[in-house]
Structure 1
């Protein structure tokens, strides 16, 4: 392969071309090692409460016992988890995995329709839900195979009196727990306690066993469950941890986990990778409360933070963020969507740390490409394929394209999913006969093996036969000081087929459409300039803060 992997020449010192895929048979073996080596170390923190690796070990084992002995679940059965970032989440994840079962991560913001689809499609036998969302489960549970609902409150693991106080405020003051009727539901804490009287049997968990059904593609029609095996995730943990390399100090890492653990990025990059380092995950339950989030950050000597562009941008625009002590931080990792140059440059100025962009998909567990950790400045690339990973750019006929040419980015490696759950025809559409996963992203590779995303295949705008990539238009407009956020989409146009439309959230209320057009005229060639400029108070976003261009495209035009 050597000659076909130009990126290896640009690998930072000490990073191997391949990882040892046989080192750990399963995620559970990595967990066992971490719980043995870092027993007294803090593992997770939330609302000021900290639990150690020893407690994660004990509580997740008890939950595994409950699932096996009390619920009588069998190897391979699915358990859905529907929570934001609270301490119960990692306990539940590791309990399900220890029991040889499969985790179905579920977005707590789902509507009843979306939840029912996911529960029926996955055939989940049980669900753990935060009480704030229990009413949605109550609406659909009778039409699913779920035989046990476990309910928990935000304060349930915070100890007395704090936990009781938090639950009281959420239920009675903020009224954030709508009434629900779930006969037979039990509290998560009671289930964990019941597991204490059982012994965990020896469960043979193999690399090909499915660890997570990670639903994706909800933005494009029906959501599909990506089957992520133990081998997929262990490979990705090893790939990511060798990439962090000497930057990470075992037993001393503190990572800010603001993206939800039900999203593949935080699940792998924060929860799993940092477990391997004996690190502490600070779980942020509601990162949308930016003021509260910044107040929390100011109290934590954190070493790392992951996020999406909108999260970093939000922090930079929150008063007090620039006063935080960043002296311990050595890693800020951006993924999930394109990191904008304007945001990356400002981040470096405020924190002193380069915002390193990585690239991945749910279907690749997620990391596929990463920039070197010793990157001096933002380079606009998604980085180099990580160890044991191949990447190439293909044309529509499936032919590999040479350096510099734009085509579809394809990925091959041990982190590529086993396929979509019970959808062989959908799997065949994305994984070709040679094992290449077709990402749907348009990209190019330079001579040094760095890859650059040009755009999503389906987001590309075609103006009079010219390809316009929304990222480029957005990057330019984001440089205007009066712009807080921007999204570019294609809209039908009689003359040119499609025209560029931009939707902007202003930072400066005096910003006008003419100023935007004049700026674009200076910075973009004619066909890339926006024909339509619209201002809004906010942009539609997914649960993790990705801007939903599709909703902007499909939105009815506001009356003139």
Structure 2
């Protein structure tokens, strides 16, 4: 598709393309912001504000320390922490030292961690002590030679830091025993780096900045190679896309975003941390968004304008009794990503905050944002929106041919944010990249005449009922609109007569909700083959730390019966 039919539907002022050449590397972007916004608050964490200048000084010292270990340009350094101020400082340090960031999920098992450390060839890791036991179990089998050990209270200073560490270690017992001889404490590494020599390496746009590992739901977890220019592009694309509403932030208010998604996830990494740096914004770090009372208590202390999240988090917050303790009046943009946003959630969020959820779409392989609904929209569209500036989308059939508008096929993406390929896996790269440079997403979508794309589902999640395709997202969206339903997921289960049947798993909002009522609602709203054959009630749905529902677990694991009246907002 050469004609970008979507451009005519861009909000006023959003450019067709962005100039990615204004920064030679992500380091140039970071250092420019450190200089321009030195006096501003960069991060707010547990009541402590950390300035751009502090983050600059700390990351430069840590970069010098890493160079002093003998790490060479291009070596990989893993970062395994929740949302704490050490995370962005460590990212800046690794990049400034000419090294490559390997983002690691801190909830990994030892087996998963071992795979990622071995696959990436990481020689060092910056890890919070809460998860050090996991590293202890597998480090001998990995190339890691250097461990920098952080703690929750590192950057809180003095008495407060000591109290937080005592509570985490002794009261809540969140630090299981470990033995990592030779590990250096984070604050000690920074102190050593202050007295060491730092040599700024030459870094170019085509150098690898980040290895972002995919979830591995379709096989072995693979590292997407995100170049400096890929991430720069996505930051600038996101800035341009948000500008129509973010420019309404009063000049006397610092642009502020809520970072409730984990920074190891590419959505938060780019759309919270890197975009925040670019715009001189303040980022509110939420270390555990599953603790909704603590999250809402923290948000009640701030004025904020941007809130990227997943549908389950928007839903949990909107239903929480402490919702009204937060001032939502300054919220300018709510970006939904990571999973499909259900229309019932979007409707409730708009009613309660006055700020619509703009659903976007992307993948680890696209840094991540590829499309988004215009931030000026006032209504939920049920689509993933329009391609971002400089981005091309086309819909392909199984043979790789472009399909006409209105037909369902695989979404393929081309743009400056698309990865260079999978780390040390040219065979896997060849499977997803077309000859003309498009990345095949594995998601099935339909583009309309305006350039809006609607996802009908992932190939692997499609349910085949008597030869008819049933897309779980459609069923979920319908049932989520039923009174009494808090959360819902649809999966396919084997059926002797039809090949597969639809299974619904529901978390109740109303304890009085019955199976018969759900069946009647589905009868009224879904055609025969889309209606569930099996309905289960549970207290919660299994999810990734980011909040995506794990449909595979719903298919593979037996249910634990929900007690009557149980409600979950996790």
For residues 497 and 275 of structure 1, what CA distance do their matches in structure 2 show? 51
Q: Out of 465, 471, 484, which is 1:469 matched to? A: 471
Structure 2: runs of 5 or more not aligned: 562-570
For residues 395 and 506 of structure 1, what CA distance do their matches in structure 2 show? 39
Residue 481 of structure 1 aligns to a residue in which SS?
A: coil
For residues 393 and 546 of structure 1, what CA distance do their matches in structure 2 show? 24
Give 1:296's aligned residue: 298
Check conservation: 2:12, 2:244, Cα contact below 8 A.
Answer: no
Give 2:385's aligned residue: 383
Check conservation: 2:83, 2:285, Cα contact below 8 A.
Answer: yes
For residues 480 and 153 of structure 2, what CA distance do their matches in structure 1 show? 39
Give 1:523's aligned residue: 525
Give 1:95's aligned residue: 93
For residues 246 and 351 of structure 2, what CA distance do their matches in structure 1 show? 23
Give 1:6's aligned residue: 5
Q: Would you say 1:230 and 2:228 are equivalent positions?
A: yes
Give 2:33's aligned residue: 34
Residues 131-166 of structure 1, C-alpha deviations (whole Å, 9 max, x = no match): 111011111111111111111110111111111001
For residues 324 and 464 of structure 2, what CA distance do their matches in structure 1 show? 40
Residues 166-220 of structure 1, C-alpha deviations (whole Å, 9 max, x = no match): 1001111111111111111110111011111134213111111111001103222
Check conservation: 1:248, 1:277, Cα contact below 8 A.
Answer: no
Shift of 1:440: 0.6
Give 2:565's aligned residue: none
Give 1:185's aligned residue: 183
Shift of 1:531: 0.6
Give 1:133's aligned residue: 131
For residues 275 and 185 of structure 1, what CA distance do their matches in structure 2 show? 30
Shift of 1:314: 0.6
Give 1:218's aligned residue: 216
Give 1:532's aligned residue: 534
Shift of 1:375: 0.4
Q: Would you say 1:60 and 2:59 are equivalent positions?
A: yes
Shift of 1:21: 2.1
Give 1:553's aligned residue: 555
Residue 228 of structure 1 aligns to a residue in which SS?
A: strand
Give 1:262's aligned residue: 264
Q: Would you say 1:242 and 2:240 are equivalent positions?
A: yes
Check conservation: 1:120, 1:145, Cα contact below 8 A.
Answer: yes
Give 1:200's aligned residue: 198
Residues 456-485 of structure 1, C-alpha deviations (whole Å, 9 max, x = no match): 111011111111110111111111221111
For residues 552 and 220 of structure 1, what CA distance do their matches in structure 2 show? 16
Shift of 1:556: 4.1
Check conservation: 2:464, 2:470, Cα contact below 8 A.
Answer: yes
For residues 485 and 125 of structure 1, what CA distance do their matches in structure 2 show? 42
For residues 379 and 477 of structure 2, what CA distance do their matches in structure 1 show? 17
Give 1:499's aligned residue: 501
Residue 158 of structure 2 aligns to a residue in which SS?
A: coil
Give 1:343's aligned residue: 345
Shift of 1:557: 6.9
Give 1:50's aligned residue: 49
Give 1:117's aligned residue: 115
Residue 527 of structure 1 aligns to a residue in which SS?
A: helix
For residues 74 and 422 of structure 1, what CA distance do their matches in structure 2 show? 19
Shift of 1:293: 0.8
Give 2:566's aligned residue: none
Residue 22 of structure 1 aligns to a residue in which SS?
A: helix
Residues 503-552 of structure 1, C-alpha deviations (whole Å, 9 max, x = no match): 11111222111111000000111110001001111111111010010111
For residues 485 and 293 of structure 1, what CA distance do their matches in structure 2 show? 20
Check conservation: 2:538, 2:560, Cα contact below 8 A.
Answer: no
| CA distance 1:557–1:254, change in 2 (3 Å) | closer
For residues 115 and 264 of structure 2, what CA distance do their matches in structure 1 show? 17
Residue 289 of structure 2 aligns to a residue in which SS?
A: coil
Shift of 1:449: 0.6
Q: TM-score scaled to structure 2, two decimals?
A: 0.96
Shift of 1:58: 0.6
Check conservation: 2:296, 2:325, Cα contact below 8 A.
Answer: no
Check conservation: 2:359, 2:385, Cα contact below 8 A.
Answer: yes
For residues 155 and 274 of structure 1, what CA distance do their matches in structure 2 show? 23
Q: Out of 279, 300, 304, which is 1:277 matched to? A: 279
Q: Would you say 1:23 and 2:22 are equivalent positions?
A: yes
Q: Out of 49, 71, 74, which is 2:72 matched to? A: 74
Residue 457 of structure 2 aligns to a residue in which SS?
A: strand
Shift of 1:334: 0.5
Q: Out of 302, 308, 311, which is 2:313 matched to? A: 311
For residues 421 and 334 of structure 1, what CA distance do their matches in structure 2 show? 28
| CA distance 1:558–1:354, change in 2 (3 Å) | closer
Check conservation: 2:245, 2:376, Cα contact below 8 A.
Answer: no
For residues 325 and 167 of structure 2, what CA distance do their matches in structure 1 show? 30
Residue 440 of structure 1 aligns to a residue in which SS?
A: strand
Q: TM-score scaled to structure 1, two decimals?
A: 0.98
For residues 323 and 162 of structure 1, what CA distance do their matches in structure 2 show? 25
Residue 4 of structure 1 aligns to a residue in which SS?
A: coil
Check conservation: 2:488, 2:505, Cα contact below 8 A.
Answer: yes
CA RMSD of aligned residues (A): 1.3
Residue 103 of structure 1 aligns to a residue in which SS?
A: strand
Residue 32 of structure 1 aligns to a residue in which SS?
A: helix
Check conservation: 2:405, 2:448, Cα contact below 8 A.
Answer: yes
Shift of 1:100: 0.7
Check conservation: 1:316, 1:322, Cα contact below 8 A.
Answer: no
Check conservation: 1:491, 1:498, Cα contact below 8 A.
Answer: yes
Give 2:102's aligned residue: 104
For residues 527 and 259 of structure 2, what CA distance do their matches in structure 1 show? 40
